[in-house]
Chains A and B, each alone.
Chain A
Amino acid sequence: MKQLFLAATLSLTASAAFACETVTVGDLSVAHGWSKVTIGAGRPGVFYVSISNAGATDDALVGISTPAAGMPMLHETVLKDGVASMPHAMSIPVPAGQSVQLSPGGYHGMLMGLTAALKEGDSFPVTLSFEKAGEVTVNVEVLSLRAEGPDCADAEQ
């Protein structure tokens, strides 16, 4: 029975395998890179990811780049008196010993100037630049517009 359950879990996660890979740079682990389908290339795409810092030194995400978009930027969705705005985030703190999520409704990458529409099942690389740890590239999986995150066994969604 346990094996059956395991098999079912594996088949569910197989489709989001890219998003479930963890890559490391220095003390930082980066995983669960995902995005959503866009209708056409004129609308901005979105980029979500989980970052954890196992070290004793604070770091910060200071930029992203990707061949999928001409102008990727870091943004934060902010609510003030019930009104949502999306200011540019100059850097996203990744404090020592803590995890940070770029996730729906909070910090996110905004991919402006897409080179092509993002289609479900596509994947593309995003390079994250950290103030101290340097650069690391993750594979980003494109999920449906309705998706709330990848189905990874270790997902913190």
Chain B
Amino acid sequence: MAFMLGLGAYRTRNGPVLNAALPLSMSEMSWQLTDHRKRAVRSADWIGRPTMVFFGFTWCPDVCPTTLSDISGWLEELGPDADRLNIALISVDPDRDTPDVLAEYVANFDPRIAGLTGTASQIAQAAADFSVSYRKVPRDGDDYTMDHTAGVFLFYPDGGIASIIDFHEDRRFAVPKIRRALS
């Protein structure tokens, strides 16, 4: 029931979703990435614990630090209950976001948040599994930025999608969604 409510809210707030983009269940995913401590992580590793994940990149000046600040605030409010969560930022910019770069970046936020990256094809696989879209946008010179899906995905311990927290969603709505995924 929480599953249905979560999705209903997501669709209503964003209007009609043309490509009905929803992540697969974690058990149907097949991605493999490397975390900021250079350890391999596979989708199957996350089954058994609730999961909170979003896509971004460390050159992002506004959306990504804002989301990470939001997540850090939610974790503070949840306290030790949140220790059970798998929590990760998956980079959509593997050319610049190496594990070392991610390690330096995530150190600015809650230590429970991991940074994941991989080869371009590994990132493409993860994005497909989560139904996330991303796109490189050139700027002057060699510079570029990335457009990317900005929501935070929540999964139950069995790997099923619990809900999606919209970008910059009010804490009063976000924290109960996380509690549902934890229960």
**Contact between chains at B63 and A39 (CB < 8 Å):** no
User: Is the C-beta of B137 less than 8 angstroms from some C-beta in chain A?
Assistant: yes
**Contact between chains at A86 and B168 (CB < 8 Å):** no
Interface size on B, residues (CB 8 A): 35
Q: A39-B105, A82-B21, A145-B108 are in contact. Are A110 and B72 (CB under 8 A)?
A: no
* Stretch of B25-33, B45-53, B144-152 lying at the A interface: B144-152
User: Is the C-beta of A20 less than 8 angstroms from some C-beta in chain B?
Assistant: no
**Contact between chains at A145 and B148 (CB < 8 Å):** no
* Stretch of B36-44, B54-62, B118-126 lying at the A interface: B54-62
**Contact between chains at B14 and A104 (CB < 8 Å):** no
Chain B residues with CB below 8 A from A145, complex form: 65, 68-69, 108-109
CA A46 to CA B62, docked complex, whole Å: 7
Chain B residues with CB below 8 A from A150, complex form: none
Q: A37-B108, A83-B133 are in contact. Are A108 and B143 (CB under 8 A)?
A: no
CA A148 to CA B108, docked complex, whole Å: 14
CA A147 to CA B133, docked complex, whole Å: 28
**Contact between chains at B108 and A84 (CB < 8 Å):** no
Chain A residues with CB below 8 A from B104, complex form: 39
**Contact between chains at A83 and B108 (CB < 8 Å):** no
Query: CB within 8 A of B61: which of A42, A43, A144, A146?
Result: A43
CA A46 to CA B61, docked complex, whole Å: 6
CA A3 to CA B143, docked complex, whole Å: 53
Smallest beta-carbon distance B43→chain A, Å: 21
**Contact between chains at A105 and B168 (CB < 8 Å):** yes
**Contact between chains at B143 and A39 (CB < 8 Å):** no
A interface, by DSSP: helix, strand, loop or mixed? loop
Chain B residues with CB below 8 A from A39, complex form: 58, 104-105, 108
Chain A residues with CB below 8 A from B61, complex form: 36, 43-46, 108, 110-111
CA A148 to CA B68, docked complex, whole Å: 11
Which chain A residue lies CB-closest to B140? A71
**Contact between chains at A43 and B58 (CB < 8 Å):** yes
Smallest beta-carbon distance A106→chain B, Å: 8
Smallest beta-carbon distance B58→chain A, Å: 7
User: Is the C-beta of B5 less than 8 angstroms from some C-beta in chain A?
Assistant: no
User: Is the C-beta of A85 less than 8 angstroms from some C-beta in chain B?
Assistant: yes
Chain A residues with CB below 8 A from B167, complex form: 79, 82, 84, 105
B-contact bits for A75-91, CB 8 A (1 contact / 0 none): 10101011111100000
**Contact between chains at B59 and A84 (CB < 8 Å):** no
- List CB contacts (< 8 Å) of B78-137 with chain A: 104-105, 108-109, 133, 137
Chain A residues with CB below 8 A from B21, complex form: 81-82
**Contact between chains at A84 and B105 (CB < 8 Å):** no
User: Is the C-beta of A112 less than 8 angstroms from some C-beta in chain B?
Assistant: yes
CA A110 to CA B17, docked complex, whole Å: 30
User: Is the C-beta of B18 less than 8 angstroms from some C-beta in chain A?
Assistant: yes
5 pairs, CB–CB < 8 Å, chain A vs chain B: A36-B61, A84-B147, A104-B168, A105-B66, A146-B69
* 5 closest A-B pairs by CB: A84-B150, A104-B66, A145-B108, A85-B147, A46-B61
